[in-house]
Amino acid sequence: MPVKNRFAELQAEITAWRRDLHQNPELLFDTHRTAGVVADKLAEFGCDEVVTGIGRTGVVGVIRGKATGSGKVIGLRADMDALPITENTGVDYASRTPGAMHACGHDGHTAMLLGAARYLTETRNFDGTVVVIFQPAEEGGGGGKVMCDDGLMDRWGIQEVYGMHNWPGLPLGSFAIRPGPFFAATDIFEVAIDGRGGHAAKPHETVDPTVTAATIVTALQSIASRNADPVSQIVVSVTSFVTSSEAFNVIPPRVTLRGTVRTLTPENRDLAQDRFEQLCTGIAAAYNCSASVEYIRNYPVMVNHDDQTDFAADVAREVAGDCAEASLVMGGEDFAFMLEERPGAYILVGNGDSAMVHSPEYNFDDEVIPAGCSWWAGIAERRMPAA
C-alpha cells in the first residue's frame, strides 16, 4: 500500500483547504470558524454522523464501512488550534489574524485528516467504523482531556485511537515512531518569593528576594543532576524571572519565577515536584524570605501502546518504505489523555528541512499531504480489512 493515487489526485484541493486554515488561525478553544469548516466538509463528504461541540469546539465524524460486522471502531485524531505567534514566513497565504499563526502544523494535520475522511467515505473499503476526531486546544488548553471528559470514547465505542504530527528534520513524507513513553509530561510552575524591599545602597536594611530567587534558579538544576537517576530524563526550565521593581537602585519586595518541569515517568514526576517545592521553600527560609509555590500538573507522559505502535509502523512502511525509530521528545502532547483512555499510537511524519515548529518562520510542507492521508486511510483499512 504505497501512497494512494487518490490522494495525489486530491492534493491540490487538500492544499487549498490547508492554506485557507493557515490564513485563518484560531487559538485554544476559540476554533469556531475552523470547526465550522471541518463540520461542513464532513457533511459534504457524506459522513454517517457529524457532531460538533464535543470538548467545547471539537468535531467528530463517523464513517461506517461497507460492513460493520467486525464491531471494530477506530479513532483518528487531528488537532485544529494555532499559536499566539506573529507569522514571518512571507507566503502569500500568511495569517490574516494579528498575533496568531499555525506555527505547529495543525492546519496540515486537520487538512490531511479531512482528506482521509473524504477518501474513506468514498470507498468505505473496511469492515467496522472510523471515528475522525478534530480537537481544539492542544497548545496548552488540554482539549484532548476535555473531549474525553465529554464522553468521546464511550459515546462512539472507540476501541483504539491514532494520532500524527508533522516533524521538521525528518525527511519529507517519511515516518518515525517509538513504543512506550514518547512525549514528556509537562508541568508548569509559578513561584512568588517575598522579602523586604529597599534602597540598593542599603541592602542590609532589606531582605533581598532577588538573591534568593537567583539561588533557587541555580539549585533547581540539582533535581536532575543530583536527585534523579542519571539515565532518566528530567528538564527543569525557569523561563521567566520578574521583579516587582524596574528601577536601577531599588531592591524589590517580590520576585516571581515561572517555567516548566518535564519528565518521562510517573516516579520522576513525583520526585521532581517534591524536590522543587522543598528547594523553593527551604532556600527562601534560609534567606529570611518566603516562597509561595504554585505547581500545576499539566499534560501527562504520552505513552504509545506496544501492539498499536507495531501496527502503525507497519502501515508507515507500506506507505513510505520504511519507518524509523523516533527519539524521545521532551515536549508535551495532549494526545496523552486519549492514550490513557484507549490503546493507540502516535507517529511523526517528516516535514523535511523546514524551520522548527513554534517558530515564526515555520510552515507545513504541502508535499507531505499524500503520505499523511495514506497513513490515516491505511490505519482504517488495515486494522479493519473488508471481507
Find the mean pLDDT for residues 69-97. 98
Q: For the segment 305-362, what is each residue's pLDDT rounded down to a tens digit?
A: 999 999 999 999 999 999 999 999 999 999 999 999 999 999 999 999 999 999 999 9
CATH number of the domain where residue 376 is located = 3.40.630.10
* Residue labelled with grid coordinates 529597599: 198
26 and 99 fall within a common domain: yes
Band of pLDDT at residue 387, cut at 50, 70 and 90 = confident
Domain stops at, among 299, 329, 357:
299
CA angle 180–184–189, rounded 5-degree value: 155
13 and 91 fall within a common domain: yes
223 and 202 fall within a common domain: yes
Q: What range defines the domain where residue 50 resides?
A: 5-183+302-383
295 and 308 fall within a common domain: no
pLDDT surpassing 80 at residue 90: yes
335 and 325 fall within a common domain: yes
335 and 279 fall within a common domain: no
44 and 94 fall within a common domain: yes
359 and 262 fall within a common domain: no
Strand order across the beta sheet in which 254-263 lies: 234-243, 254-263, 185-194, 290-299
Q: For the segment 182-217, what is each residue's pLDDT rounded down to a tens digit?
A: 999 999 999 999 999 999 999 999 999 999 999 999
Phi/psi of residue 98, each to 5°? -55, 135
- For the record, the C-alpha cell of 155 comes out as 459515546
pLDDT in the model for residue 165: 98
pLDDT in the model for residue 21: 98
Spatial contact of 63 and 130, defined as CB atoms under 8 Å apart: yes
Spatial contact of 113 and 63, defined as CB atoms under 8 Å apart: no
Domain stops at, among 299, 318, 340:
299
199 is an annotated ligand-binding site residue: no
Find the mean pLDDT for residues 231-252. 96
104 is an annotated ligand-binding site residue: yes
292 and 194 fall within a common domain: yes
pLDDT surpassing 90 at residue 4: no
pLDDT surpassing 60 at residue 1: no
306 and 172 fall within a common domain: yes
pLDDT surpassing 70 at residue 178: yes
95 and 178 fall within a common domain: yes
pLDDT in the model for residue 3: 75
pLDDT surpassing 90 at residue 257: yes
pLDDT in the model for residue 12: 98
210 and 290 fall within a common domain: yes
Domain stops at, among 249, 280, 299:
299
Q: What is the mean pLDDT of the chain?
A: 97
323 is an annotated ligand-binding site residue: no
Residues contacting residue 124 through CB under 8 Å, at least 6 positions apart: 63, 64, 65, 66
358 is an annotated ligand-binding site residue: yes
pLDDT surpassing 90 at residue 144: yes
CATH number of the domain where residue 252 is located = 3.30.70.360
Share of the chain above pLDDT 90, in %: 98
Whole-structure pTM value: 0.96
Tally of domains in the chain: 2
Find the mean pLDDT for residues 230-249. 96
pLDDT in the model for residue 277: 98
Spatial contact of 76 and 162, defined as CB atoms under 8 Å apart: yes
